[in-house]
Amino acid sequence: MSLWNMFIGGLPALLTAHQITDLFKVSFSEQGSSRRLEEERAVGQWRDWLIDIEGGDVVLTIEEEVRVTFVDLMFATGTNRIPPLGFDPVPTLAFLHDPVNGVKRVFPEANTCGLILRLPIYDSFSSHTILGIVQSPHFGLA
C-alpha cells in the first residue's frame, strides 16, 4: 500500500514540522551498518521535506501544479487528529530496503493499524512522495 496520505493530514495548521518529526520513533538498523547510513539519510530527507511543506515549498508540476500542505495529508493512524492522550503505541518510522518481486519500492508505505510509516531508500524523495499523495486521495473512503 503506497499511500502517504495516511500519515499526517488533517493536523491543525499550528503543528510544525518539528512537532510532526517528534511524533515518530525511528526504528533504525544496527549502528555502523550500511543500512543504518541509508536510513539516516532517508530520515534527513523526511525532515527536510516536512520543513519544505511547512514553508509552502513542496510543489510538483505534472499536468497542473500540486502544492502539498499538512492539511492535505492524513496521519499514519488513519485519524485526522492527534488523540488528547497521544498514541499507543507510538507511531514508528521504518524503512523499505528490499525490493518486492524484484521491483524497487519508491513510494512510502503506511500501516494504519500498526502505526508504522515506511520510508523508501532513494534519492527522488519529494517527487515520489507527492506522487504517492496525489495518486491515493481516497484512502479510507468507502
Which domains, ranges and CATH numbers included, belong to the chain? 4-134 (3.30.2410.10)
Region 47-61: what's the mean pLDDT? 80
Residues 6+ apart with CB under 8 A from 53: 17, 68, 69, 70
Range 76-81 average pLDDT: 64
| Average pLDDT, integer, range 38-60 | 85
The pLDDT assigned to 32 comes to 93
Q: Please state the φ and ψ torsions of residue 42, each to the nearest 5 degrees.
A: -65, -40
Mean pLDDT for 104-126 is: 81
Chain-wide mean pLDDT for the chain? Answer: 75
Which pLDDT tens digit goes with each residue over 19-47?
A: 888 888 999 999 999 999 999 999 998 89
C-alpha cell at 38: 541509508
Of the CA atoms within 13 Å of residue 86, those in its CB half-sphere come to: 9
What does pTM read for this prediction? 0.74
How far, in whole angstroms, is CA 78 from its chain's centroid?
13
pLDDT for 4 equals 38
pLDDT, position 31: 95
Report, as residue numbers or ranges, the catalytic residues: 113
**pLDDT band at 142; cut points 50, 70, 90:** very low
Dist. CA 40–CA 37, nearest whole Å: 5
